[in-house]
Amino acid sequence: MASQTKVDYDAIGIGAGFAGLALIHYAREAGLSVRIFDKATDIGGTWTWNRYPGAASDSECFYYCLTFSRELLQEWSWSVRYPGQPENLRYMHFVADRCKMWPHIQLNTAITRADFDEAAGIWRITAADGSTSTCRYFVSAMGMISEPVIPNFKGMGRFKGPCFHSARWPEGLDYAGKRIGIIGSGATTVQMLPEVAKTAAQVTVFQRTANFIMPAVQKPMTPEWEKEIKANYDKIINTCRNHVFGMCFNSPVGRTIEGTPPEEVQRILEENWPRGSFSFVFETFDDLLTNAESNRIAGEFVIRKMLEKVKDPDVRDMLTPKGYPFFAKRPPLDHNFHEAFNRDNVKLVDIGEREPLVEITETGIRTTKQDYDFDIIVLATGFQAYTGAQEALAIRGQNGQLLRDKWEDVSGSIMGVFVAGFPNLFMVTGPQAPFANLPTSIEQNTMYIVDCIKKMEAEGLKLCLPKQDAEDSWVAHTADIHRQTLMAQGDKVYSWMMGANLNNRQPRVLIYFGGANVYYDKLRESVNSGFPEVAFA
Ligand code: NAP
């Protein structure tokens, strides 16, 4: 029997980024009433929070977008291969405008708790101002990499100038002529450094671990290229849907480093390097990520190519990734990051081994060797990926269990969507979903969630009860696959992908590494067999 309890909305989602927009589309298409809450002042998710100079997508524009409307894909025009934050945000406004989504969106609303009311079989969602809304289906659309991690450095709060996380860049901050210290050297810093170095008086990057970095090769969208893209959207969407990382690459290519003569390997790597993007990994050889020796050869090539741009041998040494395989951490794409270190106003400090960071002072940053004075400190220290957003609010399921308590030791789920003990809760790209081109994964997840809801609506089912044994199987399967990957090769591999950037948590398997395409197939199999991972009541 369907719930007789009156609710404010059929579905409530938190998060007005790509996932929230996709949810509005697919829920509305299914005839559901839907409300999206977001604490931000604008839609956009990642693209409204990450306003640091140089912020851009690392996926190419033509597949870093929502695909549910062929009309929208034809109407929108990108200006460059990797659009910057303002352009991505404009695109999301275009989607919301054209699809008349705004009436479903409530901004400036921080949700602080979500409680499952067992007697009524509904979710009660509470905002910071105490207002509540009820729904039958509660969807976390809060993003995979959205909750900033601010390390607890000694002296935090003492610095007199602006000190903020990279995802909270203050609007209108004038950094021209200023001395800037950046802690962290991940994908964010790789994008930010070249841009801020243009006008800052001085920029110092405090790096703990060096990265493998591949060239982005930014370029303008030409009319010919746009025409070709727009004529091939069905193929592009299909390629992403069937790609191991949800991206538009033609892989497998049908050759391996192991099976290719060494000179030919070098020729092919050399030929593909200037193309930019992740094509270097996906469209050269099929064994880069699976064969240790092939990975070593490709990794050495990457190191040689990236460091030949750096003049100072000491800086080259510091920028050399050591102790972990290529692609075991998410490699950033380079927009003149290495060249920035050739500028007189850019300095690199190794806080990994040479001079660990001791504390933040009133005037800057102290390492074991020296005091560095700054006007601005940027904490480009990453995010609590996959679980951070959900754990930032109090989500209570059956018996009042808190989701963050359930995830204390293992951040388990069923396919990144369901959690046992949390009826009618659905996550878009939750923990143990793949790490892939996000719009692709988001749409696949959202279609899956709405298919489950459609079944419940059609059959008069009130509750979707994820099964604990299905969760245990997915957790075990995800761990088993992880053990077979590069990510399981030693301590140095640990990154946000393992939740290893959190002081208060043991590293854990947060990502399904069995291939996004395989995962999307599993979602479809689940739909076709009536969602065997959950019980309905
Ligand atoms: P990140 O890759 O996690 O990098 C954080 C940096 O801060 C690392 O260098 C890390 O060092 C350092 N760090 C963290 N805690 C520290 C501590 N206590 N002491 C010293 N150093 C510390 O974060 P991110 O650069 O923001 O990127 C995160 C992810 O977001 C990316 O991998 C990517 O998926 C996504 N992203 C995407 C784009 C894009 O697509 N264009 C742009 C930005 C971010 P260790 O490496 O030693 O831990």
pLDDT of the residue at 2: 44
Binding site membership of 209 for ligand 1 (Cβ less than 6 Å): yes
Band of pLDDT at residue 504, cut at 50, 70 and 90: confident
CA distances from 489 to 250, 329, 361 (A): 28, 11, 37
Q: Is residue 361 part of a domain?
A: no
Same domain, 391 and 289: no
CB 534 within 8 A of CB 452: yes
Q: Say which range, 55-64, 90-99, 383-392, 499-508, has the weakest mean pLDDT.
A: 499-508
Domain end (from 283, 308, 326): 326
Number of domains in the chain: 2
Same domain, 392 and 523: yes
Same domain, 432 and 527: yes
CB 164 within 8 A of CB 170: yes
**pLDDT surpasses 50 at 506:** yes
Band of pLDDT at residue 494, cut at 50, 70 and 90: confident
Binding site membership of 186 for ligand 1 (Cβ less than 6 Å): yes
Q: Is residue 494 part of a domain?
A: yes
Domain end (from 326, 342, 368): 326
**Domain range for residue 243?**
214-326
Same domain, 299 and 424: no
Ligand 1, atom 15: closest residue by C-alpha = 381
Q: Is residue 176 part of a domain?
A: no
Give the count of alpha carbons within 13 A of 457, CB side only: 15
The first and second tokens of residue 76, run together, are: 């929108």
Peptide bond connecting 313 to the previous residue in cis, omega within 30 degrees of 0: no
Binding site membership of 496 for ligand 1 (Cβ less than 6 Å): yes
Residue among 81, 144, 169, 188 whose CB has most ligand 1 atoms within 8 A, to mutate: 188
Same domain, 391 and 311: no
| Residue 189 Cα to ligand 1 middle (Å) | 8
Q: How far apart are CA 187 and CA 378, in angstroms?
A: 14
Same domain, 18 and 136: yes
Average pLDDT for 196-207? 98
Domain end (from 326, 343, 362): 326
Domain of 62: which CATH number?
A: 3.50.50.60
CA distances from 107 to 41, 281, 427, 432 (A): 6, 39, 20, 28
Binding site membership of 435 for ligand 1 (Cβ less than 6 Å): no
Q: How far apart are CA 128 and CA 47, in angstroms?
A: 23
Same domain, 393 and 525: yes
| Residue 166 Cα to ligand 1 middle (Å) | 10
| Torsion angles phi and psi, residue 102, rounded to 5 | -55, -40
pLDDT of the residue at 499: 85
pLDDT of the residue at 331: 95
Band of pLDDT at residue 492, cut at 50, 70 and 90: low
pLDDT of the residue at 314: 98
Binding site membership of 382 for ligand 1 (Cβ less than 6 Å): yes
Q: How far apart are CA 64 and CA 3, in angstroms?
A: 38
How far is C-alpha 214 from the geometric centre of its chain's CA atoms?
A: 18
Between helix 262-272 and helix 292-307 the angle, nearest 10°, is 50
pLDDT of the residue at 496: 87
Same domain, 141 and 16: yes
Q: Is residue 365 part of a domain?
A: no
| Residue 143 Cα to ligand 1 middle (Å) | 16
Q: Could you identify the atom of ligand 1 that is nearest to the CA of residue 496? A: 3
Q: Say which range, 38-42, 189-193, 474-478, 480-484, has the weakest mean pLDDT.
A: 480-484
Q: Which helix (H) or strand (E) holds 176?
A: none
In this predicted model, what pLDDT tens digit does every residue of 1-51 receive, in sequence order? 444 689 999 999 999 999 999 999 999 999 999 999 999 999 999 999 999
CB 376 within 8 A of CB 175: yes
pLDDT of the residue at 356: 98
Same domain, 318 and 390: no
Same domain, 495 and 403: yes
Same domain, 104 and 236: no
CB 95 within 8 A of CB 272: no
Q: Is residue 364 part of a domain?
A: no
pTM of this structure: 0.97
Q: Is residue 173 part of a domain?
A: no
Q: Is residue 230 part of a domain?
A: yes
Q: Could you identify the atom of ligand 1 that is nearest to the CA of residue 435? A: 34
Q: Exposure string (b/e) for 277-292, b if CB count within 10 Å is 16 or more?
A: bbbbbbbbbbbbbebe
| Residue 234 Cα to ligand 1 middle (Å) | 34
| Residue 380 Cα to ligand 1 middle (Å) | 6
Instruction: Report the Cα–Cα distance between both ends of the chain, in Å, rounded.
Output: 8
Q: Is residue 193 part of a domain?
A: no
Binding site membership of 184 for ligand 1 (Cβ less than 6 Å): yes
Q: Would you call 407 exposed, middle or buried from its count of C-beta atoms within 10 A (0-12, 13-18, 19+)?
A: buried
Q: Could you identify the atom of ligand 1 that is nearest to the CA of residue 59? A: 40
pLDDT of the residue at 384: 95
Binding site membership of 247 for ligand 1 (Cβ less than 6 Å): no
